[in-house]
A and B are shown apart, each in its own frame.
Chain A
Amino acid sequence: MRASRLALVGLAAVTLLLSACTSDTPTDSAPPGDTPPQTADGEWFVRADYDQQLAQRSMTPEGDAAKPWLQAIEPEWIDTAKFKKDGGDATLCFSNASISNPWRVTGWITMQQQVEVLKQSGDIGEFRVSDAGDDDNKQISDIQAFVEADDCDSIIISPSTTATLTPAVQAACDSGVPVVVFDRGVQTDCAVTYIHPIGGYAFGADAAEFLVKNLEPGKKVLALRILPGVDVLENRWAAAQEIFKGSGIEVLGNEFTGGDGAKIKDIVSQYLQRGDVDGIWMDAGDGAVAALEAFEDAGKPYPVFSGEDELTFMRKWKETGIKAIAPVYSNFQWRTPILAATMILKGEKVPAEWVLPQAPITDADLDDYLARNADMPSLHYAKFGGEDLPGFPDAWKDR
Chain B
Amino acid sequence: MSASRKLADAGRFLISGSGAVYLLLIAIFAVIAVNNASFFEPFTLMGFVKKAAPLLILAIGQYFVIVAGEFDLSVGSLVGAQVVLAALLIDGEGPRTWPVIALMLAGGALVGLVNGLITTLLKVPSIITTLGMMLVLFGAIRLLTGGAPTGALSPEFRIFGRHGIEGVPLFRQLPWALFIVIVVAVAAVYLMRSPFGRTLVAVGDNAKAAGFAGTRVWWVRTAAFVLSGLSATVAGILVGGYAGVTSQVGEGMEFVAITAVVLGGVVLGGGRGSVLAAIAGALAVESLFTLFTQLSIPSTIRPTAQGLIIIAAVAYASRERSRRHTPQLSMKPADPNRHSDVAVP
Contacts and interface: CB of A to CB of B under 8 A. Distances in A.
B252 interface: yes
B302 A9 contact: no
A254 B267 CA distance: 37
A289 B244 contact: yes
A261 B249 contact: yes
A133 B242 CA distance: 29
Given A17-B303, A289-B244, A399-B146, A9 B293 contact: no
A1 B270 CA distance: 12
Nearest to A264: B243
A290 B247 CA distance: 13
Interface stretch (B8-16, B308-316, B326-334): B308-316
A337 to B, nearest CB: 19
Given A253-B296, A270-B290, A274-B38, A6 B318 contact: yes
A290 B304 contact: no
Interface stretch (B116-124, B147-155, B188-196, B218-226): B147-155
A55 interface: no
Interface string A128-152: 0000000000000000000000000
Nearest to A258: B248
Interface in B291-345: 293-294, 296, 299-300, 302-304, 306-307, 310-311, 314-315, 318, 322
Contacts of B255: 12, 15-16, 19
Contact of A287 (B150, B243, B303): B243
Contacts of A106: 148
Contacts of B259: 9, 12-13, 16
Interface in A21-72: 21
The B interface, classified by DSSP as helix, strand, loop or mixed, is helix
B243 A293 contact: yes
A374 to B, nearest CB: 14
A293 B162 contact: yes
Interface stretch (A94-102, A156-164, A178-186): A94-102
Given A6-B314, A13-B310, A259 B147 contact: no
Interface string A356-399: 00000000000000000000011100000000000000000001
Interface of B: 36, 38-39, 44, 47, 51, 54, 145-152, 162, 239, 242-249, 251-252, 255-256, 258-259, 262, 267-269, 289-290, 293-294, 296, 299-300, 302-304, 306-307, 310-311, 314-315, 318, 322
18 contacts: A6-B315, A14-B307, A16-B256, A17-B303, A17-B306, A21-B300, A228-B300, A258-B251, A262-B242, A265-B51, A267-B293, A270-B293, A273-B44, A286-B246, A287-B246, A293-B243, A297-B47, A377-B150
Given A19-B252, A255-B299, 4 more contacts: A99-B147, A261-B245, A266-B289, A287-B243
